[in-house]
Amino acid sequence: MRPAAPSVCHHAHRFGAWGRVLELKETNARRTDMAGTSSGEYIQIIAMLVDKLEPADDRDGIAAVAAASAASYATNVGNPGWKRWFEAITAKSVRRADGKSFAKLAATFPGATLRVVGEAKALAFTPMPNDKLPKLLARLQVSGTTLPRLQSVPTSDAGHVEVWLNADLEMTTGKAAAQAAHAFFEWTRLGMLPAAEFPRVRFRAGQDLEQVRDQVGAVAIVDAGRTEIAPGSLTSVALAAGSTPDADRAKDEQ
The secondary structure of 5-34 as a DSSP string is PP---S-EEE-GGG--EEE--SEEEEEE--
What average pLDDT does the chain have? 81
Quote the CA–CA distance of 217 and 220 in Å, as a whole number: 10
25-34+157-249: what fold?
Bit1 (3.40.1490)
Evaluate if residue 145 carries a pLDDT over 70.
yes
Q: Which of 165, 157, 167, 112 is nearest to 136 (CA)?
A: 112
The predicted model scores a pTM of 0.82
Lowest mean pLDDT among 15-29, 70-84, 172-186, 206-220: 15-29
Contact 96, 145 (CB under 8 A): yes
Could you give the C-alpha distances from 5 to 18, 88, 219, in angstroms and in order?
Answer: 25, 12, 12
42-138: what fold?
Bit1 (3.40.1490)
Evaluate if residue 125 carries a pLDDT over 50.
yes
**Residue range 203-249, pLDDT digits in tens:** 999 999 999 988 888 889 998 777 788 888 999 999 888 766 554 44
Contact 121, 102 (CB under 8 A): yes
Contact 37, 90 (CB under 8 A): no
Evaluate if residue 170 carries a pLDDT over 90.
yes
Rounded mean pLDDT, 56-82: 96
